[in-house]
Amino acid sequence: MKTTMALKPLAFALAALMAVAAQAGQPNHYPQPAPTTASATTLDGQSNHGNVVTNEKTKNNASANGSYNNISGVANGNVLSGDNNQGKNDVAIVSGDADFVFASTGTAQSNTGNKVLNSGTKNNASLNDSGNHASGIIQLNSEAGTSNQGSSSVAIASGNGSSGSAAVTGVQDVSGNLTLNLSSGHGWSTKPVVNNASVNNSMNFSSGVSNSNVLSGSGNQGQNNVAITRF
């Protein structure tokens, strides 16, 4: 056998090994997975306009007393007494293995063009001895009177990624309203307009997120917005 004929199979084998080695040394060009996102968003609004209310010797009592103690998790409450009051609670929670997490809350309140006549009216809104030793998300709104608005919003996003953000937006508009508070009766029997709002011994020894709005009277607005991002 000629020498050249014997070397040909060896040459082919060496060439194949060199080609495989060269290909292994090159970086892989596999497509990278797209970044993942997780978001929690609350968007809501309240509109109260064009109402006419007359209260004569009216008593409006809204109370959340001795409530929501020693609880955990998510607890929402709206206690309203009177006319054209609005209360809302929004909660959005998302958790996942995302590269980017985002939490946002957006709330708008509009209270315009309302007319209220109070004569000898009593409005009492109270939040006493409530929300103590609680953990988690506690949202309470207590409103007594006319055309009051209370809002509480929480957005929480949690992920194991490398980035995140939180945003809070809130808009309140009170305009063009007319409220008359007059006493009723004559002499010793005169009864004035009384508005009482109280928060006593509440939200103590609590952990997490605690929101409350206690409104008494006419045309009041209360808003609590919380956005939390953990990554």
**How do residues 200-231 score in pLDDT, each as one tens digit?**
999 999 999 999 999 999 999 999 999 999 88
In this structure, what DSSP letter does residue 123 have?
E
Spatial CA neighbour of 181 closest among 87, 82, 56: 56
Determine the average pLDDT of the residues in 150-154: 93
Spatial CA neighbour of 148 closest among 118, 105, 169: 118
How high is the pLDDT of residue 17? 54
For residue 149, the cross-strand partners are 86, 221
Tens-digit pLDDT profile for residues 35-51? 789 899 999 899 999 99
Q: How confident is the model at residue 112 (pLDDT cuts 50, 70, 90)?
A: very high
How high is the pLDDT of residue 212? 92
Measured CA to CA, the distance from residue 166 to residue 53 in angstroms comes to 40
CB 220 within 8 A of CB 172: no
CB 184 within 8 A of CB 118: no
Measured CA to CA, the distance from residue 147 to residue 48 in angstroms comes to 7
Tens-digit pLDDT profile for residues 171-205? 999 899 999 999 998 888 888 999 999 999 999 99
For residue 153, the cross-strand partners are 90, 225
CA distances for 95 relative to 13, 101, 160, 207, angstroms: 55, 9, 9, 20
How high is the pLDDT of residue 216? 95
Q: Determine the 3-state secondary structure of 17 from DSSP.
A: helix
CA distances for 68 relative to 108, 139, 203, angstroms: 27, 10, 9
Alpha-carbon dihedral of residues 212, 73, 64, 131, nearest 10 degrees? -70
Tokens read off for 148: 């009051």
How high is the pLDDT of residue 162? 84
Instruction: Examine the pLDDT at 8 and tell me if it is beyond 80.
Output: no
Spatial CA neighbour of 172 closest among 113, 223, 115: 223
Q: Which residues contact 105 (CB under 8 A, 6 or more apart)?
A: 41, 42, 43, 90, 92, 153, 154, 155, 167, 168, 169, 170, 225, 226, 227
How high is the pLDDT of residue 152? 92
How high is the pLDDT of residue 26? 55
Least confident of 16-20, 73-77, 101-105, 117-121: 16-20
Q: How confident is the model at residue 33 (pLDDT cuts 50, 70, 90)?
A: confident
